[in-house]
Amino acid sequence: MRPEILFPLFAPATELSGVGPRIGKLLERLAGGGRIVDLLWHLPTGLIDRRHAPPVNAAPEGRIVTLTVRVDAHIPPRNPRLPYKVRCHDDSGFLHLVFFHVKGDYLTKLLPVGEVRVVSGKVEHFRDEAQMTHPDYIVRPEEFATLATIEPVYRLTEGISSKVIGKAVRAAIERAPSLPDWLDAALAARESWSDWRTALRSAHAPAAEPDLAPSTPARRRLAYDELLASQLALALVRAHQRRLPGRRIAAAGDLRRRVLAALPFQLTGAQIAALAEIDGDLASDGRMLRLLQGDVGSGKTVVAFLAMLSAAEIAMQAALMAPTEILARQHYATIAPLAEAAGVPVALLTGRDKGKSRQGVLDRLADGSLKLVVGTHALFQEDVAFDDLALVVIDEQHRFGVHQRLGLAGKGKAVNVLVMTATPIPRTLMLCVYGDMDGSRLTEKPPGRRPIDTRVIPLDRLDEVATAVGRQIDKDARAFWVCPLVEESEVVDLAAASERQAWLAARFGADRVGLVHGRMKAAEKDAAMERFASGDLNVLVATTVIEVGVDVPEATIMVVEHAERFGLAQLHQLRGRIGRGSQPSTCLLLYAAPLGETAKARLTIMRETEDGFRIAEEDLRLRGAGEMLGTRQSGLPEFRLADLTAHADLLQIARDDARLVLDRDPELASPRGKTLRVLLYLFERDAAVRLLRSG
Ligand code: ADP
Ligand code: MG
């Protein structure tokens, strides 16, 4: 339960004076929540400096200034659509205050003729006359001191002014209690961090532009709090996971030896190391939750299969789940011959399997006669029952959410989980998303692979490119040709791709150029793919990335049109479709000039490196973590205060801090532990607190 000290923070913002239901709704949209705490997390993005107080005739156009003037005369409009004007002056010149739709008697009270007033707002010049339309402030000179001469500016939504938000935030800060500090004292001292409430106040009260930077002590402290809460929560979940019993899978390795002997290649050092880590997890009593990262073609499937084999060897079951039908089939194709070498049957189960054959697989999974299965989501439908499922391998290719994945293990008792991903995740993000989740990285490519020759070429040389590709095709090369999504409408895109297919067919021969696109039925897609894989087609034009998620080692050319429209990760994935055989490969990235700054940087990186891990880091740098984490649907966390690009160092510290704390005080029962519980509640990690025994 949330500690009482935090109650004021979780009260609705409408409890604040000046915040009615209408403003409350707008604030909710703006701040991502309608509670007082949401306002506190809504940090200013700019500031208004009203200290510039020139004489009227020196007020610069369009800038906010504060002027001291004497009121001369009121000039009501002749017709209500025209503005009401009030003429004022100082020693240097005249100023007209301009008001639309404002009642005269209100203005005569506010601006009595003959008196001096301080007005603040933007000055504009109109026919040599200085004007200020709807000043932000009109006060008596003696009130001037109470005027906030520097105001924070908040991200706005329609119907709400920065002034209103500022007022609400100030009221929210008034409500903020002082909290017992959860920071490690040495860290706080080293970073010159103040206590939470002071940090909050100063983050909302910038005195100059630099105070808005993420590197200010106040903002760093608030970011750290958020990161620490997140790391602590992840660590608690992991600690809990580790305490859960897992099925021990300790096989002697006879089957594996048989398969290794039958393999036409040797495992790479990275594969051997990853397998050893997985074996260690499987042989322990705890439950495995491990991420296996590696580029397409780095040999993840083989590693996963060898782990699955250990389960089969001791009469347990293992399942591999892929995000698409095509990928499931491809994994099955990789695995089936290996399973045969081991003498262990393996089945494929996807949504397309129906009737008798499906029932046959289900029966054998239920009675335990079938130990290994490869499939799609279909594997986890309700009517699928396992006799003794002990290991699940999930090939996520970034399509399954984290939560879904964690919930998935429910099909067996204490199921071990291995997640494979082909999109390398930068270390920073890895930490945020998975915390201390164990990770293995296949950083090394299988031997014999040739580097890919990547070239960046303007689209207006399309003709030359086609000619060059044609020359290779005459030598029976195979090429992917990717046309990206260009328009909003799929129909238009499809037309562009069909047109490209026709154009290429006219050059290379109609029977040599195929097309796959998102609108095709799965069977049609597979058929086209199959023709390409078998060498019947030389060129496969594709509209989307997913469609080329196939393994065709003979393909040596990848042409990407409008490469500037793709993200780095996508380009890397696309390029990963070639360079998988022993023949040299070429990737041609065609771009439409002129290239923007970021697009240029992306293409340069593609030309420079094939290292997926480096590309992922660069991607993070170019896009910023916000965008990479981006959407809620991605299942990745969103931070309100922390900026993973600017605060990457803090993430590391938070990770270590969390780990150290839990090592010493696993139940968060010490004095600092208790304050950390408050921190967890403050960032709404209630679920993590519940994992504590005395939570
Ligand atoms: P991933 O799942 O990472 O995309 P795979 O496991 O499917 O990679 O391997 C891609 C191809 O490389 C497969 O044809 C596989 O047989 C082959 N392969 C895997 N490991 C090695 C290795 N150590 N040496 C040579 N070829 C390998
Ligand atoms: Mg694979």
Domain 452-609 in this protein, CATH class: alpha beta
In the reported structure, the alpha carbon of residue 299 is separated from the centroid of ligand 1 by a whole-number distance in angstroms of: 4
Between these two residues, 8 and 161, which has the higher pLDDT value?
8
Q: How far is CA 359 from CA 254, 289, 326, in A?
A: 31, 31, 21
**Considering only CA atoms, which residue is closest to atom 26 of ligand 1?**
446
For strand 585-591 and strand 555-560, is the pairing parallel, antiparallel, or unpaired? Answer: parallel
298 alpha carbon – ligand 2 mean position (Å): 8
Index of the ligand 1 atom closest to the CA of residue 395: 2
C-beta separation of 620 from 645 below 8 A: yes
How would residue 6 be classed by pLDDT, with cut points 50, 70 and 90?
very high
Ramachandran angles phi, psi of 296, nearest 5°: -55, 130
Q: Which of 116, 58, 125, 117 is nearest to 96 (CA)?
A: 125
Say if ligand 1 is within 6 A of residue 271 CB: yes
Buried b (16+ CB within 10 A) or exposed e, 469-485: bbeebeeebbbbbbbbb
Cα(268) to centroid of ligand 1, in Å? Answer: 10
Residue 429, pLDDT above cutoff 50: yes
pLDDT in tens, 373-385: 999 888 877 788 9
Does ligand 1 lie within 6 Å of residue 416's CB atom? no
pLDDT of residue 192: 96
Residue nearest to atom 18 of ligand 1 (CA): 299
DSSP string, 421-446: ESSPPPHHHHHHHHTT-EEEEE-SPP
For residue 632, the 8-state DSSP code is G
Q: Output the CA 400–ligand 1 centroid distance in Å.
A: 23
What is the reported pLDDT for 631?
39
Which pLDDT belongs to residue 111?
95
Percent over 90 (pLDDT), the chain: 55
Ligand at minimal distance from the CA of 577 is: 1
Closest ligand to Cα 424: 1
Nearest atom of ligand 1 to the alpha carbon of 553: 14
Residue-wise pLDDT tens digits, 609-624: 998 888 888 887 777 6
User: Above 80 in pLDDT, residue 223?
Assistant: yes
Q: Domain spans of the chain? A: 51-147, 254-423, 452-609
Dihedrals phi, psi of 575, to nearest 5 degrees:
-65, -30
Residues sharing a CB contact under 8 Å with residue 564, sequence separation 6 or more, in sequence order = 591, 592, 595, 596, 599, 602, 603
What distance in angstroms lies between residue 626's CA and the mean position of ligand 2's atoms?
29
pLDDT per position as a tens digit, 495-516: 778 899 999 999 999 899 999 8
Ligand 2 center–CA 196 separation, angstroms: 48
Q: Is residue 612 within 6 Å of ligand 1 at its C-beta?
A: no
Same fold, 254-423 and 452-609: yes
Q: What is the pLDDT of residue 29?
A: 84
Model confidence at 364: pLDDT above 80: yes
Q: Whose CA is nearest to atom 24 of ligand 1?
A: 446
CB 314 within 8 A of CB 362: no
The average confidence (pLDDT) of the chain is 87
Is the pLDDT score of 633 beyond 50?
no
Task: Judge if the beta carbon of residue 298 lies within 6 A of ligand 1.
Answer: yes
Residues 6+ apart with CB under 8 A from 264: none
Number of residues that this document lists for the chain:
695
In this predicted structure, the answer to whether residue 407 has a pLDDT above a threshold of 50 is no
Residue 256: predicted pLDDT: 96
Q: Is 301 in the pocket of ligand 1 (CB under 6 A)?
A: yes
The answer to whether the CB of 579 is under 6 A from ligand 1 is no
Span 394-411, average pLDDT? 53
Q: Residue with the nearest Cα to atom 20 of ligand 1?
A: 299
Three-class DSSP labels, 547-580: HHCCCCCCEEEEEECCHHHCCHHHHHHHHCCCCC
Nearest to 322, CA basis, from 338, 334, 311, 340: 334
Model confidence pLDDT, tens digit, residues 64-98: 999 999 999 999 998 888 899 999 999 999 999 99
pLDDT reported for residue 581: 79
Average pLDDT, stretch 147-160?
A: 79
Mean per-residue pLDDT for 344-350? Answer: 95
- Name residues whose C-beta falls within 8 Å of residue 597's C-beta, 6 or more positions apart in sequence: none
CB-based contact 638:632 (threshold 8 Å): yes
Pairing between strand 585-591 and 452-458? parallel
Helix H segments across 15-133? 21-31, 36-40, 104-110
- Residue 402, pLDDT > 50, answer no
- Assess whether the C-beta atom of 108 lies below 6 angstroms from ligand 1: no
What CATH number matches the domain at 254-423, 3.40.50.720, 3.40.50.1220, 3.40.50.300, 3.30.460.20?
3.40.50.300
pLDDT surpassing 90 at residue 144: no
- How much is the average pLDDT of 258-268? 93
Model confidence pLDDT, tens digit, residues 195-220: 999 999 999 999 988 999 999 999 99
β-bridge mates for residue 89, sequence order: 70, 94
Indicate the SS3 state at residue 302. helix
**Atom of ligand 1 lying closest to residue 263 CA:** 16
State which of 368-377, 479-488, 580-589, 681-690 shows the largest mean pLDDT: 368-377
> Of the ligands numbered here, which is closest to the C-alpha atom of 297?
1
Mean pLDDT value of segment 509-526: 86
The pLDDT value recorded for residue 673 is: 96
- Long-range contact set of residues 3-7: C-beta below 8 Å, sequence gap at least 24: 3/677, 3/678, 3/681, 5/177, 5/179, 5/678, 6/177, 6/678, 6/681, 6/682
Is the shortest distance between the CB of 652 and ligand 1 below 6 Å? no
pLDDT band (50, 70, 90) for residue 411: low
Burial annotation 426-460 (CB, 10 A radius, 16+ → b, else e): bbbbbbbbbbbbbbbbbbebbeeeeebebebbeee
- The count of other CB atoms within 10 Å of the CB of residue 559 is 26
Binding site membership of 300 for ligand 1 (Cβ less than 6 Å): yes
CA-nearest residue, atom 22 of ligand 1: 446
CA-CA distance, 301 to 504, in Å (whole number)? 35
More confident call, 395 vs 518: 395
User: How far is residue 260 from each of residues 161, 603, 680, measured CA to CA in Å?
Assistant: 68, 39, 48
Q: 51-147: what CATH class?
A: mainly beta
Kindly report the CA angle at 300 between 279 and 360, in degrees rounded to 5? 85
C-beta of 302 in contact with ligand 1 (< 6 A): yes
Atom of ligand 1 lying closest to residue 271 CA:
23
Pocket test for ligand 1, best of 301, 423, 441 (most atoms within 8 A of CB): 301
Indicate whether residue 296 lines ligand 1 (CB < 6 A): yes
What pLDDT score does 620 carry?
Answer: 77
Residues 526-577 pLDDT 10s = 888 889 989 999 999 988 655 445 678 899 999 999 999 888 888 888 898 8
| Mean pLDDT value across residues 678-682 | 96
Q: Exposed, middle or buried, 2 (CB in 10 Å: 0-12/13-18/19+)?
A: middle
What is the pairing mode between strands 416-421 and 289-294?
A: parallel
In angstroms, the CA 479 to CA 404 distance is 36
Alpha helices in 32-133 (DSSP H): 36-40, 104-110
pLDDT of residue 325: 84
Q: How far is the CA of 286 from the centre of ligand 1 (A)?
A: 29
Of 373, 299, 277, nearest in space to 332 by CA: 373
Position 480 scores a pLDDT of: 94
Q: How far is the CA of 396 from the centre of ligand 1 (A)?
A: 17
Which candidate, 679, 695, 689, places its Cα nearest to that of 228? Answer: 679
Distance 565 CA to ligand 1 centre (A): 30
Q: What does the pLDDT look like over 155-193, one tens digit per residue?
A: 877 777 777 888 899 999 999 999 999 999 999 999 999
Q: Does the pLDDT value for residue 423 go beyond 90?
A: no
Residue 550, ligand 1, Cβ within 6 A: no
Backbone CA torsion sign across 332, 338, 340, 342: negative
Residue 291 Cα, ligand 2 centroid: separation in angstroms? 14
User: What local confidence, expressed as pLDDT, does residue 692 receive?
Assistant: 84
pLDDT at 548: 46
